[in-house]
Every structure is written in C-alpha cells, then in structure tokens.
Amino acid sequence: LTGISREQRAFQYLLAHAIPGDPRHVLQTFDQWSYHCEHLSSVGPVKGRIVERLLQERAPLQVLELGTYCGYGTVLLAQGLPPGARLYTVAVDPRHAAVAEKVIRLAGFDEQTVELIVGPTEEVIPQLREKHGLLKADFIFMDHWKRCYLRDLRLLESHQLLAEGATVLADNVLFPGAPHFLQYAKTCGKYRCKVHRASLEY
C-alpha cells in the first residue's frame, strides 16, 4: 500500500534502530524486524551460527557469496573474515542490490572488504577473474535460486575458481531443496559432504 518494498521497509527500520558501524548490532536489528514485523528470507541467527563457526575454522581470504538479497548474509560473512580478506557478493536483483549496498555500508564495510556485483550468476561467474580479480575462492556461500546451485558450482569448477580445499556452503538444500546439487556433491567424488540440520529462518 505504501509503494515501498518489504526490503526497503526493513532498511528504514535498520536506519532508525541499528548502530552504524556495528555489524553484530545490524544483524540483531534485522532479526528483530524479521521476528516481529515482516519475514525476510535471510540466513537468520540459527543458521548464522553455523556460518560463523565454519568461517572461524577455515579463516578464508577470498570469499564468494552467491545471492546477496538484503545483505544480511554479506554482513554475517564480512564480520567473520580474517584481516586482509575480501568478500565478493553477487546480487541477481538490482532492487535488492540497492538495499544490500546500503546495509553493507551501514554495517561499516567498505569496497575494499566487500565488493557487490550485480547481475545473473551465470554471467558474473565467468567474469570473476578478469573483471573482478578473484583468482580462486576459499569459501563459497550459496543462498540464491536453488535450481541454480548445481549449474553455478559446475561453472565455478570449469573456470577453476575453487581453491584447493575450498569450502562450499549451500543453504536450504533440503527445503525448499536442491536435490540435483546434493546428489552431485555426494557422488561426483570431488567433495566431502556434511548436512547441517537447522530450522527455517525465523
């Protein structure tokens, strides 16, 4: 009715309540909005803890996020990076990217730490090395269209963008589900797989 998107409304709430430059508080404010006002399909705090733990264990220097949405996952990833690391995040929808850009900067991350790339993943992935300087990713977080998970993983493989021992973390593979991706990851012989059980966000 207001002509303002749900994502824009969430950002206005962040502007009013979140502490600028404090990524953890930005995430907590996002959580409050999603619990009490309107549901956003962000990672959320439960699955967020899995992401944080894996980042702490792996300490990756080159991170790629596929599916920026409103920037929640981006802020979550960025705050867990070791010094000198760089995060590339790919937003498919330009309207969501406009919100995400403001959220990322509100949380205190500049373009040296987080580069936001707008475009379809099948077009962006082949350009990551030449156009954006990503030689090989140590940590990949997939949280975009589930039907694209397998295609994009194979694109990353074919363009040799996965570092040796890289971690690929994919959200919602059981529900709504990415069965072809899961089957490939389990049977192709290139990956050791672990399914993390979690509730749906919020």
Q: Report pLDDT for 3.
A: 83
CA 60 to CA 55: how far, in whole Å?
7
Superfamily in which the 6-188 domain is placed by CATH: Vaccinia Virus protein VP39 (3.40.50.150)
Low-confidence stretches of the chain (pLDDT < 50) are none
- The answer to whether residue 143 is catalytic is yes
- pLDDT value of position 119: 98
Q: Specify the pLDDT at position 199.
A: 87
Q: Is 171 a catalytic residue?
A: yes
What's the pLDDT at 22?
A: 98
The predicted model scores a pTM of 0.96
Active-site residue identified among 31, 138, 143, 152:
143
Please tell me the predicted confidence (pLDDT) of residue 86: 98
Cα dihedral 54, 60, 65, 68 sign: positive
Query: What span, in angstroms and rounded, lies between the C-alpha atoms of 123 and 143?
Result: 17
pLDDT for position 200: 86
Domain definitions of the chain by residue range: 6-188
What is the per-residue pLDDT for 1?
57
State the catalytic residue, choosing from 146, 152, 157, 194.
146
Return the pLDDT at 49. Answer: 96
Instruction: Respond yes or no: is residue 186 known to be catalytic.
Output: no
pLDDT at residue 171 in the model: 96
Percent of the chain having pLDDT more than 70?
99
